[in-house]
Structure 1
């Protein structure tokens, strides 16, 4: 960062209008000082020359300090914008990696789906078989709305089913399909063009071999809504009235995604750099930053993917120095450059010295009856005060800008935290609904004698792929536990499900895509700790109108929520800022999770924030006192993700908090 700022300081300075104003004002005052000082020298030779020399020395000190001031104003303004942009790039790639991690679990589970296996092992596929599978996989895409298509390929490369084009029938020999066939125990993640899909645009696909009794019977492919998801992720990172300037790059710097407004002339390749750099695009100077994602549960995403940003220099210039005032900046030493405090202190000190020089000059002039020197002294004294005021105003304005930028970052950080939470729980709502439609579970639970062994085996398979759950269970039409995914709670089989699990609600659900969720409370099947349990109905295999039981998925909230909060904590040079903490609470302050042991789950946390702004804008930020310590605090409320909490009828008010000591 420092090398970038030093190398491009003069260029950046030209685009920041507020800094030019202060620089020009200081130059004008210095010039006027020099002229008045010259008049004094010409007309007051009898006055001690040391006084004028002292004044010249003071002016030299102001000149030196002026240079430092303008450099600091430029650097701090640019550093604020670039650092903020880099943080947003990091947020974007990390959110994407978390999303794609879920896709790797989905393809593994769907490849073992009973109906998919039966379809691919069938040597004589009929139209009614295709119709049944179309309904089945359409339900999957309706539930997991991150996918746009599903395809099934036979071992010889014949395309035997495509959800978007059921009548299509041809042979495909894409390399990633061959890779899936060669390694049936591994998923394949492929990004690029393919004969499987129309158009020349690259797609992100997930493939897995489908195996029946040790024999590969085909390959299933899921097509991810790539551009749609990238637009959603990056658009949420934008400030008010800001155009989207985020790009997805591979390790070679090839642009894999550019926002819609870039489509006319976006760069095809950028050189990846760990540090900010200046580039030219469409005859404009742009600041480029890139961020590489952090691994999530051992998954790092597609090889060497980065999110980059191209920020026009005039955009930095538009962020003119903010005139918003704060009562005091003396307690904000943790977020404001020590150099700026030093410049201000030196400015005051130099002006105090000037006041003494002028006073000494007045006394000397009075002794020598040099009345013509008095106006010179008074004029220089006034200029000195004017210069000091420029220093004070510019530094105070920059302090305000820095703090405002920090508050924007806190607001964004809090929004990111609750967005990741919503995205995570969106997947949980999807999982339970899809598993509730499992033919294996339906058949096992519909049997005259419930096939508990089959249910337990299915649940164990699911649990091995989806590590975010503490346990999974199935219950019968009487609301009694039938089987668990592991051995931890086998002693509960035959007992009624916990009343607060919201499991009984599934028997009242009419829509096959509906689900129910418990309140965030303690459960015996979560070791007596707080969590959410997501439920979906399991319906009769012959009559979907009849509910014969349900599936409950116990989310591992203790570890998953804390991991989210730890991951989004603000960092400096790769390390979490000292004293920073983050929380999830309800809208009444009940702590759902915290990165700090100071705020245990079940305690109450709420600080004095603008509730109206939080409700109207979805987020807010301010400076607060907590335990006699000043904090920057950002708060954001849950707004849902895709249809989750937006169109599915589920309401759950959550507020995320991020706090950093000033």
Structure 2
């Protein structure tokens, strides 16, 4: 009964699959011809053994069963291909966003403790000069963390004391968010709705945290920091990545009731539109002519954000359309491959063998009984057998090609996601170093140090406290170091590496480049190298210049951030690697980050070590920035389908900011 239900539901998709319709038509033609020939034989050959005619009928049933299995198998492969794309898009839209928003939770926690902002909010009476300083400080912040469109500093009573966007008319807020931020036991408050803090927007994604200051020896709440995330701009960028030039997919974020928050086609899926929504969906569901899928985020480092779902809705004709702009790869799947459809081939052979036995027995019987008139009937069955074998041979090859295309789509999409996640992550690292370099405590102490050539134990302790606090919030670094105008380390965030204090940073060229930076937007990144600063492993180190107090044109030192590349890059690859139903195929799949020379930056394959050379095909290493495609490649005597994507940056990162570092994500699945 279940098989009949599956069969009926599968057959409903045939209208969108012209190749399936063609095969079905050919097979039904053979079935009809079989019936016709059998009937002619039965009518005109009364002396033939009834058992032979029964064998012909039984063999025809075997053929019909194989036909149904193959048609459903082919539809199932097409459906799996469509489902994979739908599910990948839905999961990616929520997971990539959550990764981004995780960074915001650290931002709001750190900025709410910024000394300049805290002192400003703790003062009842401030000069116009101080107000200007705070405004410039906020401008500097958003110039680096460009994901925000406004920043507000609000008193406990709701009075707005500073804001980035001067066109924002708000002067006093009555939003309950303020009181919530003042009293919550949580680290921050996150809301998405309309707020009088940003009256010009129908809805705002806000991160709020109370600001506390020590006043007369006591810790007192002096206000609330509100960061407005530029949600519309961010999801528009995200939709461009996920659409990948494919029209017709409705990609959106919905709340836990299924109401649309934002969509790539707002005219079709307006905000507030109710979508069919089910929790815990295993695969897309058909509703009318469409397929849809909703999924929760997998979370990132324990952060799950607001109860939102990634959602994709697509018409069946679009889902099943051959949308692939990837290179056509005509490969023959080896017989020892886990992809090879042995069961279908064996069933095909069984039907052919049965029919051959029937024909041979029939010919022997016809000669014995001198029923020569039946021989042409048997010859016709032999012709049918040859035709059926050819159809099934082409059929099985076609199913193999559908499997190849499915894998092509998965590895290419996964490679695109991996490099997108990497660029977005490293964008944050470039922001961090530039912003922290502007910390007033750093600037004041390093300026004094340059002037006097001395630094007290109390000053070192203060620098260490600030660095340790930063590193506690931003755990993607193993160490954060401050160095003076000569490259000598003054303080570190990691107490286990305190022996670095007083030494010169290795790689003086990177230090010199940083100390010569001319403005607060510039930064320096080392190449991906092996360093004692990372226990002899490979990583990137991010630098930014610490500016002289009172003069942004002069440098008094620098800050260096040691990125914890090993687990961070590994997590990016693991999270974006494709998953297959067949575990044998999963076992052949791995992902790699390489640079333009093929140097391995990270790999999910244990014996492909970081820092070694991966002999990647030249056409991949030489591909243009942003290119996303697939190639066929034999590596270590194993044939692979390889999806690749060359990085092209995120926002201004690697896009005109002076930093060039092409990384290529590779996803390989063995066939």
Q: TM-score when scaled to structure 1?
A: 0.92
Equivalent residue number for residue 99 of structure 2: 98
| Contact 1:16-1:319 within 8 A present in 2 as well | no
Cα distance 1:244–1:167, how it changes in 2: closer, same or farther (>3 A)?
A: closer
Number of aligned residue pairs:
654
Equivalent residue number for residue 493 of structure 2: 485
| Contact 1:500-1:518 within 8 A present in 2 as well | no
Q: 1:4 and 1:594 mapped to 2: Cα distance?
A: 44
Cα distance 1:410–1:5, how it changes in 2: closer, same or farther (>3 A)?
A: farther
Cα distance 1:612–1:566, how it changes in 2: closer, same or farther (>3 A)?
A: closer
**C-alpha deviation, 1:607, in angstroms:** 4.0
**C-alpha deviation, 1:324, in angstroms:** 6.2
Match for 1:638 among 647, 657, 661? 647
Match for 1:473 among 481, 494, 497? 481
| Contact 2:82-2:320 within 8 A present in 1 as well | no
Equivalent residue number for residue 556 of structure 1: 564
SS in 2 for 1:34: helix
Cα distance 1:574–1:514, how it changes in 2: closer, same or farther (>3 A)?
A: farther
| Contact 2:252-2:261 within 8 A present in 1 as well | yes
Q: Deviations over 1:136-195 (max 9, x none)?
A: 212211111111111111011112222112674532122222111113772111111111
Cα distance 1:125–1:243, how it changes in 2: closer, same or farther (>3 A)?
A: farther
| Contact 2:170-2:198 within 8 A present in 1 as well | no
Identify the range of structure 1 (606-615 vs 421-430) with the bigger mean alpha-carbon deviation.
606-615
| Contact 2:415-2:643 within 8 A present in 1 as well | yes
Aligned-residue CA RMSD (Å): 2.8
Match for 2:665 among 636, 640, 656? 656
Match for 1:292 among 292, 296, 306? 296
1:647 is aligned to 2:656: yes
**C-alpha deviation, 1:326, in angstroms:** 2.2
Q: Deviations over 1:201-243 (max 9, x none)?
A: 2221111111111211111111111122222223212344334
Equivalent residue number for residue 377 of structure 1: 378
1:260 is aligned to 2:268: no
Equivalent residue number for residue 545 of structure 2: 537
Match for 1:278 among 278, 285, 288? 285
| Contact 1:614-1:635 within 8 A present in 2 as well | no
Equivalent residue number for residue 607 of structure 2: 598
| Contact 1:15-1:316 within 8 A present in 2 as well | no
Q: Deviations over 1:376-412 (max 9, x none)?
A: 2222221222222222222211210111111210111
Identify the range of structure 1 (536-545 vs 223-232) with the bigger mean alpha-carbon deviation.
223-232
Cα distance 1:241–1:253, how it changes in 2: closer, same or farther (>3 A)?
A: closer
SS in 2 for 1:330: coil
Q: Deviations over 1:63-84 (max 9, x none)?
A: 1111112221222211221133
Equivalent residue number for residue 38 of structure 1: 39
Q: 1:497 and 1:4 mapped to 2: Cα distance?
A: 69
Equivalent residue number for residue 134 of structure 2: 133
Equivalent residue number for residue 575 of structure 2: 567
Equivalent residue number for residue 313 of structure 1: 316
Equivalent residue number for residue 435 of structure 2: 434
Q: Deviations over 1:512-562 (max 9, x none)?
A: 200001111122222222111100111112111111111111111122112
1:580 is aligned to 2:589: yes
Equivalent residue number for residue 415 of structure 2: 414
| Contact 2:598-2:621 within 8 A present in 1 as well | no
Equivalent residue number for residue 156 of structure 1: 157
Equivalent residue number for residue 445 of structure 1: 446
| Contact 1:609-1:621 within 8 A present in 2 as well | no
Identify the range of structure 1 (46-55 vs 522-531) with the bigger mean alpha-carbon deviation.
46-55
Equivalent residue number for residue 618 of structure 1: 627
Q: TM-score when scaled to structure 2?
A: 0.91
**C-alpha deviation, 1:289, in angstroms:** 1.3
**C-alpha deviation, 1:484, in angstroms:** 0.9
